[in-house]
Amino acid sequence: MFPLEQHTIFLTLAGSQAHGTAREGSDVDLRGVCVAPLGVRLSLFRTFEQYEGALPEPLAATVLPRIAAHPTASRALAIKTECVIFDVAKFVSLCAAANPNALEILFADERDWVFQTTPWRRLYDERHQFLTKKVQQTFLGYAMAQLKKIKTHRAWLLNPPTKKPAREDFGLPSAGGTLNRDDQHRIEQSIADKIRSYGIDDFDMPKSTRIAIAERLETFYRDVLRLGETDDDLEECMRPVVTHALALPSGVVSVLNAEKKYRAAMKHWEAYQSWKTHRNPARGELEHQHGYDTKHAMHLIRLMRMGLEALETGDLQVRRDDADELSAIRDGALRFDDLLAHADALRSHMEAAGRGSSLPNDVDRDRVDAVVYSLSTESLQGRPDPA
């Protein structure tokens, strides 16, 4: 590992401290960017994409006094401080892909910066080049992941699993199925390959175009098969289509489906046991009180609003003007049904905003490459390369 402090170009507060929703008990999350030494960047054997861990000691001397002067983070220094620092190449590639976590670093409010350099300022000045229509898919995707967790945890709260699944529950023999594992794997792989063949992953086209076409195909599949909204619905209903196309015997299909349902039930059981064992007690109390995970709900609404604002205004507001409202959602201000209705409305608004947005479909790759090259060479000039 190279001396990270010599190559870091930026650090900022992240998470609740950056959103303006921090409260008693919130910790300090730091996110930053470095330019890895040339020897590491060109090495055949050494690689570096990101660092995760404690704040490096040489950086702490500069950073901690600034955190101590921050209106909310200063109260959290004694709780926990976590640090993630990305190499500039990894960071910029995430930003170009409209990754919400990376864009929140790039657009962090300057009041939350705790360490900056001239190369960082050059990248920051280009930040709007990374806002594209892809934010509709990425911010919505992250939000829907939060909603999926909310629904899963709510189901566990209202109807917790009471029995570990057994093979016999699915009509399977306790000592193993009629198909050996190699045969199961081979057939499942054929099913997976067939489903992939219906897609567009092997076509050479811009990623933004691929995403748009994939969404239209999924809508078509759902309309034809009259499905609900979940990915599980689509996969479950595509299997009969695929097994028919592969001409698999009905007995084999029955065994495969039973094995699949058993594995899914076991995965669900293990996830429930892990959630029950490791969840934060205070957060668990909020879940019991309101019937769902209100912290996930806060992030769900925040992500959708940020994505919508980016599509409508061409800017990304990390420090939230609606921080008080978001905090109220975390405290249970919305009933579960109201949360779902609010999320549905925001989703519709995002879809409409995406159609009318003036944002480009993708980043200008030549311009992004030129910026990264310039700030990388500027940052590395005069710095010794570690052995």
- How does pLDDT run across 11-20, given as a tens digit for each residue? 999 999 999 9
For 23-32, what is each residue's pLDDT tens digit?
887 889 999 9
Residue 2 banded pLDDT, cuts 50, 70, 90: confident
Sign of CA dihedral 82, 99, 292, 305: positive
Specify whether the CB–CB gap between 142 and 100 falls below 8 A.
Answer: yes
The whole-number pLDDT of residue 10 equals 96
In the block, tokens 């209106």 appear at: 71
Judged against a pLDDT cut of 80, whether residue 381 lies above it is answered with: no
- The stretch 211-231 carries a mean pLDDT of 68
User: How far is 4 from 7, CA to CA, in rounded Å?
Assistant: 5
> Regarding beta strands 113-116 and 81-87, do their DSSP bridges make them parallel or antiparallel, or are they unpaired?
unpaired
What pLDDT, on a 0 to 100 scale, did the predictor assign at position 187? Answer: 75
pLDDT for 366 equals: 93
- Compute the chain's Rg from CA coordinates: 24
Phi, psi of 169, deg, nearest 5 = -60, -20
* Rounded distance between C-alpha atoms, residue 263 and residue 304, angstroms: 33
- Residue, of 349 and 1, whose pLDDT is higher: 349
Q: Is the dihedral of CA 231, 236, 240, 246 positive or negative?
A: positive
* Edge-to-edge order in the sheet of strand 8-14: 50-53, 81-87, 28-34, 8-14, 113-116
What is the share, in percent, of the chain residues with pLDDT greater than 70?
A: 91
Instruction: Give the residue extent of every domain in the chain.
Output: 4-132+363-380, 133-162+279-361, 168-278
Say which residues have a Cβ less than 8 Å from residue 221's Cβ, sequence separation at least 6. Answer: 227, 234, 238
Structure confidence at residue 179 (pLDDT): 67
How buried is residue 98: exposed, middle or buried, by Cβ count under 10 Å (0-12/13-18/19+)?
buried
The whole-number average pLDDT for the span 185-203 is: 76
Q: What mean pLDDT, rounded, does the chain reach?
A: 87
What is the mean predicted confidence (pLDDT) over 124-145? 94
Average pLDDT of the segment spanning 222-237: 64
Q: Among 56-60, 97-101, 213-217, 281-285, where is mean pLDDT lowest? A: 213-217
Name the CATH topology of 4-132+363-380: Beta Polymerase; domain 2 (3.30.460)
343 closest CA partner among 185, 65, 147: 147
Q: How far apart are CA 314 and CA 128, in angstroms?
A: 7
Q: How far is CA 229 from the centre of its chain?
A: 19
pLDDT for 55 beyond 50:
yes
Q: What single-letter amino acid sits at 224?
A: V
Mention every residue, 6+ apart, whose C-beta is less than 8 A from residue 62. Answer: 114, 115
Instruction: Give the helix ranges, DSSP H, for 159-249.
Output: 181-197, 207-225, 231-245
- Residue 119 φ then ψ, to 5°: -60, -40
pLDDT band at 245 (very low <50, low <70, confident <90, very high): confident
Q: Which residue has the tokens 């668990």?
A: 284
